[in-house]
Amino acid sequence: MTKHNILTPGVFVNTVIFQLINEELSVLLTQREDEPYKERWALPGGPVPLDESTQIAASRIINNKTGIQIKQLGFLEQLYTFDSIKNDPGVPAVSVVYMGLGKSITPKATSHNRNAQFYPLDQIPTLAFDHNNMIEYAHQRLKSKLYYTNAIFALLPKMFTLSQLQTVYETVMEDKFDKRNFRKKILSFNLINATDEQHMEGAHRPARLYKFNKHELEYLTRSFE
């Protein structure tokens, strides 16, 4: 006898993987192969088998459907659990959604999937289920995480210029900052160190390259902006 004897919803995971592409915040989507919503774009996801935790299932499914390894992501954390919406086709379900951040990752076609690609946030089509909501929720969460953590490291390459860093903040937070104040503040957090390398590009003064001194999530000593 198990501890319950009533039927409960199915358990699924979905993942919202963000990456910057051409200075645009983009989300990894896959095209569904099966009904319901066959052919529709959707967040990578699937059912959670009995012998996997939701996080393990999320990692495996990302890899199966997009060829992306979890190690390529700066982090992956649980975002929220969504109930299936009223008029959705399919069985009643909950979807445990994970959010991840990465950089320079490219989905590969796999045996389980025809199509996987990053879509810029403002070009996302109408997705299966309530996946559009999930993305919006994830974007909000990401914004707030940038206020009180160093999460941004996961979106940037190993070395970057201060201007690039500022642009990433501005893109994700959908805001603009003063260049001098931004530099003063970001340096005061001691998250990044100057290297003695420079980035030369275009007909202008070269920019000094910086790198993060931590590559794990940490809380900031005070909030950003």
- CA angle, 144 as apex, 97 and 48 as ends, to 5°? 10
Angle at 81 between CA 66 and CA 152, to 5 degrees: 60
The one among 162, 168, 172, 192 contacting DNA by CB under 7 A: 162
Burial of 194 (0-12, 13-18, 19+ CB in 10 A): exposed
The answer to whether 200 contacts its own copies (rule: CB under 8 A) is: no
Structural tokens at position 139? 């974007």
Binding positions for its own copies, 25-84, rule CB under 8 A:
34-36, 46-51, 53-55, 78, 80-81, 83
Is residue 1 involved in binding DNA (CB under 7 A)? Answer: no
Q: Report the run of H or E that residue 119 belongs to, with start and end.
A: strand 116-120
Q: Say whether residue 87 binds its own copies (CB under 8 A).
A: no
Cβ 72 to its own copies shortest distance, Å: 23
Residue 182's H or E segment, with its range, is: helix 179-188
Q: Does 222 bind DNA (CB under 7 A)?
A: yes
Q: Among 53, 140, 144, 188, indicate the residue that binds DNA (CB under 7 A).
A: 188
Q: Kindly report the CA angle at 104 between 103 and 107, in degrees rounded to 5? A: 110
Does 190 bind DNA (CB under 7 A)? Our answer is no
Q: Are 116 and 66 in contact (CB under 8 A)?
A: yes
Number of residues that bind its own copies (CB under 8 A): 34
Residue 137 site contact among its own copies, DNA, none (CB < 5 to 8 Å, cut-off depends on kind): none
Q: Say how many C-beta atoms besides its own lie within 10 A of residue 110's C-beta.
A: 15
Is 200 a binding residue for DNA by CB under 7 A? The answer is yes
Tell me which residues touch DNA (CB under 7 A). Answer: 161-163, 178-181, 183-185, 188, 200, 202-208, 222-223, 225
Tell me which residues touch its own copies (CB under 8 A). Answer: 1-4, 6-12, 34-36, 46-51, 53-55, 78, 80-81, 83, 89-92, 94, 96, 223
